[in-house]
Structure 1
Amino acid sequence: MQFQDFSVHAAVGKLAALARTPHDLTAAGGLTAQRLGEMKASFCGFDLLYATQRVTPEVLDALQELADEAGLIAAYTAMRQGEVLNRIEGYACENRQVLHTASRDVFADPPMEPEASAKARRELEKLRIFLDELADGTLVNAEGKSFTTMVQVGIGGSDLGPRALYMALRAYALPGRSARFIANVDPDDVAEVLSGLDLSRTLFNVVSKSGSTLETLTNEHLVRARLVQEGLDPARHVVAVTGEGSPMDDPAKYLRSFYMEDYIGGRYSATSMVGLVSLGFALGFAAIMEILRGAHAVDRGAADPDIRANLPLLMAMLGIWNHNFLKHATVAVLPYSQALSRFPAHLQQCDMESNGKSVTRQGKAVGWQTGPVVWGEPGTNGQHAFYQLIHQGTEVVPAEFIGFRQSQYGLDLNVEGTGSQQKLIANMLAQSLALALGRHNDNPARCFPGNRPNSVLIADRLTPHAMGALLAIYEHRIVFQGFCWNINSFDQEGVQLGKILATRLLDLISGRTASTEANPLEESLLKQAGIG
């Protein structure tokens, strides 16, 4: 697959010219019922309402041209087929395939990359057997009692995605089952998670591809020490998700081992064993298969070259319009669903670790903006926190609202003629309109400038299938943007320097580094911080 610089595409110049006079949503006729009906895309159970973006049919046509010139669908197809796309030409790099879609291509016949999908099927079968043994009483604790809690020990992609999905789908948890998560190397995190747990009925799921992640290994040692302290055998309470043949692939130390592959990056791994083991324990095998089906439906639909029909591609190109042409530096993801409270945190990693890059796939400095700052919190809480800035601040923040027409639990009550879910969605739609239209007032402090671009992504209910689809929609939005910017969205070299320096500081603290070999600056920093 050949990638070209963003700046060479003819559509970039066309879009730059259109951006000099973007659509005015606040003008007479700027936002009409007709526009609302025309600027709507339906895809895999979701509707995207994007009439409140500052686009016109001409802008959409130019964005289509850009997607075509950049070969986004060809690149996406090559990725799914197993081409080595995690690479920088001419430089040392991970040089890997990118096959997170293979973990849910298990429904296809034939799959896009048969070998990777066959491995995914094997791991799913191992997981099914494990979950069946837990359910039928074959696999129990030393006292013959069932396990009720699984604690996932991991960090980054081994925590954020699985945690976000579990929190989103707790309404569908099996009776008597729950999951918890330990990520931070802060010992208080471990202490808080373990507090109140019956460790004799708890399984720990340690997730590390290499088996050498510092934070995860440290927390695993703390967990094992607590188990021993309680008179429990860690080998009967700890499972591993790791690379085949890693130090953690050890049946003497782990109850079971499930495998993760090098070609699935951490932030894209929630639908691999990284996420499915804990999700399967808490939700059951049928639910995780629905997550995979939802994601797979999006994987297939994302191959459509028409941006008006392909929702992840459309969201990617609207994001490029806002970021590269309207020059907005951030994007707020605002789920009007408390269940999605950690989904923006997952997207922060997935998007910013993927597209926070400043060199091209050819190893040259980029000459254009790449990934935006991604952030967000659930509504309506956010309305009483930071919405002041997004309505009236000097920084224009494009917003992506996510909502559901029905609640998960169905527990609601009419108050003053409407239910809570109706109030929630009415608030979301009102915010979309308010950001777009603004409001004039003779009192300048009460003026709302409007023209704040936003879109609404809405589905019927947050189910396992819908969650899988939502996850994949955002994964592909991120990947399409990286392809368009000609950057490698699949490595994370930017996290390495801090790890190296932290290891050197720890060597100083522990005395493993002799004072004669110490870096004076690092020694001084520890001294000034009162550590060591």
Structure 2
Amino acid sequence: MNGELSFKYDNVMEETLGNSGLSNGKLESFNTESSKIIENLKEKELNGEFGFLDVLNDNLDKYYELNEYSKNFENILIIGIGGSNLGLRAAETGILGNFTSRYEIPRMYYMDNSDPEKTHDILSNIDLEKTLVFVISKSGNTVETLANFFIVRILMKKKNIDLEKHVVSITSGGELEKITKKENYIHFEVPENVGGRFSVLSSVGIAPLSCTSVDIKKLIDGAKSIEKSCKCEDIFKNPALMNAVIHKLMYNRGKTVSVMMPYIERLRSFGMWYGQLWAESLGKNGFGQTPVIAVGATSQHSQLQLYMDGPNDKIATFLKVNKYRNDLKIEYEYDHHLSGHNLSEVITSELVGTENSMKHNNIPNVKITLSELNEITMGKLFLMYEMQTAISGELYGINAFDQPAVEYGKKIAHECLTGSKVDSEKKYINGKYIITSK
């Protein structure tokens, strides 16, 4: 299995972008600071603050046992939101493909939102008697997750489905832990020092993935294989450090938007995972880049005009693969330049066009190339970005592992659900300035 990852940053350098680019000397000057940053990170790891690295050494036997058990089911239902959903989904679609969850047994279903129509649609198309349900919430009190699980749980009880055999709980507290113990669900802990958005390689991601055809050992091995590079103090040998520094320097120059643009559909969900990781980790104390998720070549026909001719406030990251799992040849009996080419050549040429157009317009961009998309390269990609985010927290002087600003909204939602409906509408919902069409 080929597992090479390369990081190209020519298109942020002054040799390419002139005065809009970075000098080699500027990057070299970071070597002293980067050495201190890596030392700080290693100290935090020793103090048990970097659980996302600790989980790489977990014993996988419990997951192999779960894999055997899951063969009794046709469907896997994932109930979880945010970090309890996005990384898992990125790994599953990245490795297995976008349509595998529909046609390969077990079929994967994701119930992440509290949108009643989505939940109803899933429940209308799934046989719960043939379903293994994963309910995932580190706190055990996530509102959307509990709401959906309570609905699914009652439906299963009404069908006399044995919850002990059909529910896997991944939690470390709250209401979910209480009911897990009371009803004796299959249970996996979420390590205390692993935050949701950093949990893809913990039980949160690995337990459900073990029930699919994903090789979880190779996924972990992929992450381990890049760990040493991502702890290197030399900025020119550490892709996570280099990318973190580049994004920080460009942020200082007004590049407040980070565009993630994979040129392969299987990494669309990885972009969504990155969006949470980058925004929730670094959006603090007035700092932070806004992540924008695009997909090549589709987004060339919707967003590219803005990137090229709108505010010059963006830095783009392209993701590409050298070898697609499947390719198709274009055949056309009339004279046309596309005839005889493969689809992979088309999408690759479109990436080349976008990359060079951005360079021409002095828009900084970097590119990560994977030899192919598999467990090894996905593991590398996940760990590189987790380390890059941790390093960025040090560069900004902030805690990359908390999210204090979202708690106020949760408090109001809780108040609306537990208090008087009239009082809630008066205090939070009704407005003075409203335009209504009837």
- Give me the whole-angstrom Cα distance separating, in 2, the residues matched to 1:156 and 1:327: 28
- Give me the whole-angstrom Cα distance separating, in 1, the residues matched to 2:5 and 2:107: 28
SS at match of 1:488: coil
- Is 1:423 aligned to residue 346 of structure 2? yes
Post-superposition shift, 1:305?
1.4
Report the equivalent of 1:384: 301
Q: Which has the larger radius of gyration?
A: 1
Report the equivalent of 1:413: 329
TM-score by length of 2: 0.88
SS at match of 1:300: helix
Answer yes or no: is the 8 Å Cα contact 1:267–1:349 preserved in 2. Answer: yes
SS at match of 2:29: helix
Answer yes or no: is the 8 Å Cα contact 2:79–2:110 preserved in 1. Answer: yes
Change in CA separation of 1:392 and 1:254 when aligned onto 2, cut-off 3 Å: farther
SS at match of 1:521: helix
- Give me the whole-angstrom Cα distance separating, in 2, the residues matched to 1:529 and 1:158: 38
- Give me the whole-angstrom Cα distance separating, in 2, the residues matched to 1:212 and 1:401: 37
Answer yes or no: is the 8 Å Cα contact 1:244–1:259 preserved in 2. Answer: no
Change in CA separation of 1:405 and 1:371 when aligned onto 2, cut-off 3 Å: same
- Is 1:152 aligned to residue 78 of structure 2? yes
Amino acid at match of 1:436: K
| Structure with the bigger percentage of helix | 2
Amino acid at match of 1:281: C
- Is 1:50 aligned to residue 50 of structure 2? no
Cα deviation 1:48-78 (Å, max 9, x = unaligned):
2221114459723323433532522112212
- Give me the whole-angstrom Cα distance separating, in 1, the residues matched to 2:174 and 2:310: 53
Q: Which moved more, 1:64-73 or 1:268-277?
A: 64-73
Report the equivalent of 2:61: 125
- Give me the whole-angstrom Cα distance separating, in 2, the residues matched to 1:213 and 1:427: 42
- Is 1:477 aligned to residue 388 of structure 2? yes
Answer yes or no: is the 8 Å Cα contact 1:241–1:257 preserved in 2. Answer: yes
Matches within 5 A, 1:258-269: 258-269=188-199
Change in CA separation of 1:405 and 1:257 when aligned onto 2, cut-off 3 Å: same
Post-superposition shift, 1:170?
2.0
Matches within 5 A, 1:118-517: 120-121=58-59, 124-135=60-71, 146-171=72-97, 175-243=104-172, 247-248=176-177, 250-284=180-214, 287-324=215-252, 326-358=253-285, 370-408=287-325, 410-415=326-331, 416-437=339-360, 450-509=361-420
SS at match of 2:255: coil
Amino acid at match of 2:85: D
Answer yes or no: is the 8 Å Cα contact 2:327–2:344 preserved in 1. Answer: no
SS at match of 1:458: strand
- Give me the whole-angstrom Cα distance separating, in 2, the residues matched to 1:205 and 1:331: 33
Q: Which moved more, 1:390-399 or 1:196-205?
A: 390-399
SS at match of 1:283: coil
Cα deviation 1:437-484 (Å, max 9, x = unaligned):
2xxxxxxxxxxxx11111111111100111111111111111111111
- Give me the whole-angstrom Cα distance separating, in 2, the residues matched to 1:76 and 1:297: 18
Report the equivalent of 2:18: none
- Give me the whole-angstrom Cα distance separating, in 2, the residues matched to 1:197 and 1:59: 56
Report the equivalent of 2:51: 99
Cα deviation 1:107-158 (Å, max 9, x = unaligned):
xxxxxxxxxxxxx32xx322222212334xxxxxxxxxx2021111111100
Answer yes or no: is the 8 Å Cα contact 2:66–2:207 preserved in 1. Answer: no
Change in CA separation of 1:522 and 1:370 when aligned onto 2, cut-off 3 Å: closer
Post-superposition shift, 1:234?
2.7
- Give me the whole-angstrom Cα distance separating, in 1, the residues matched to 2:154 and 2:175: 22
Amino acid at match of 1:278: P
Post-superposition shift, 1:529?
12
Answer yes or no: is the 8 Å Cα contact 1:79–1:99 preserved in 2. Answer: no
Unaligned runs of 5+ in 1: 1-43, 84-96, 107-119, 136-145, 359-368, 438-449
Answer yes or no: is the 8 Å Cα contact 1:412–1:419 preserved in 2. Answer: yes
Report the equivalent of 2:336: none
Answer yes or no: is the 8 Å Cα contact 1:331–1:372 preserved in 2. Answer: yes
Post-superposition shift, 1:394?
2.7
Answer yes or no: is the 8 Å Cα contact 1:154–1:207 preserved in 2. Answer: yes
Q: How many residues align?
A: 417
Post-superposition shift, 1:289?
1.2
Change in CA separation of 1:328 and 1:279 when aligned onto 2, cut-off 3 Å: same
Higher RCO, Cα 8 Å, sep 6+: 2
Amino acid at match of 2:39: A
- Is 1:79 aligned to residue 44 of structure 2? yes
- Give me the whole-angstrom Cα distance separating, in 2, the residues matched to 1:266 and 1:507: 26
- Give me the whole-angstrom Cα distance separating, in 2, the residues matched to 1:55 and 1:239: 53
TM-score by length of 1: 0.73
SS at match of 1:328: coil
Runs of 4+ in 1 over 6 A off after TM superposition: none
- Give me the whole-angstrom Cα distance separating, in 2, the residues matched to 1:236 and 1:188: 27
- Give me the whole-angstrom Cα distance separating, in 1, the residues matched to 2:29 and 2:264: 35
Post-superposition shift, 1:165?
1.3
- Give me the whole-angstrom Cα distance separating, in 2, the residues matched to 1:49 and 1:291: 23
Report the equivalent of 1:113: none
- Give me the whole-angstrom Cα distance separating, in 2, the residues matched to 1:510 and 1:234: 34
Post-superposition shift, 1:80?
2.6
Change in CA separation of 1:257 and 1:245 when aligned onto 2, cut-off 3 Å: farther
Change in CA separation of 1:215 and 1:248 when aligned onto 2, cut-off 3 Å: same
